[in-house]
Amino acid sequence: MAEWVKRQSRWFSLSSKIRQRTGSEDSDDLLQTVLLRLLERGVTHIQHAESYILKSAHNAARDENRRTRCLPCSPLPDEGWDNIECPNPSPDEVFLSREQLVILQDAIQDLDPSTREIFLLHRIQELSYSEISQKLGYSVSKVEKHISKALAFLTSRLLD
């Protein structure tokens, strides 16, 4: 118990000195920060530990004042905030978009295989009608018909 009292009185003494030198009410926090930094750095051979800790706390308080001393802030006016819209979609819009995506994915899977392949080559791989016709050996007209068929089917599924 006596050892604990000694440590507490030493802490209180250092904290009081820091409060006097820095004018900061956060002297306990500054002391803890300085001691933690010392432990993290592994500093063990300091001749005048109290002076070192007090100077470090003073520097830490100065650094904190620099960080908090920003440009002067003025309160923003209360009016006009109701008209500002967030550029992000609302949760409802996100939900509806995800729901439509699931419907679209299911509808693409329901296309007949050749129409699905042609549609995906055009929309996903961004191949032109002529490139698709050359790749699959179809006429450009047949590719156009498959794309039209796919778009009509997918549109009808999305509108249902």
Q: What is the pLDDT of residues 50-85, one digit of tens each?
A: 777 777 777 877 777 777 776 666 777 777 677 777
Separation between Cα atoms, residue 116 and residue 122, nearest integer Å: 10
Name all domains of the chain by residue range, CATH numbers in brackets: 2-68 (no CATH), 91-159 (1.10.10.10)
- Whole-angstrom Cα Rg for the chain: 35
Provide the percentage of residues in the chain whose pLDDT is more than 70.
86
Q: What secondary structure letter does DSSP report for 76? A: P
Q: What is the pLDDT of residues 121-156, one digit of tens each?
A: 999 999 999 999 999 999 999 999 999 999 999 999
Closest by Cα among 37, 156, 146, 72 to 107 = 156
> DSSP labels for 19-39?
HHHH--TTHHHHHHHHHHHHH
Q: Quick check: pTM over 0.85?
A: no
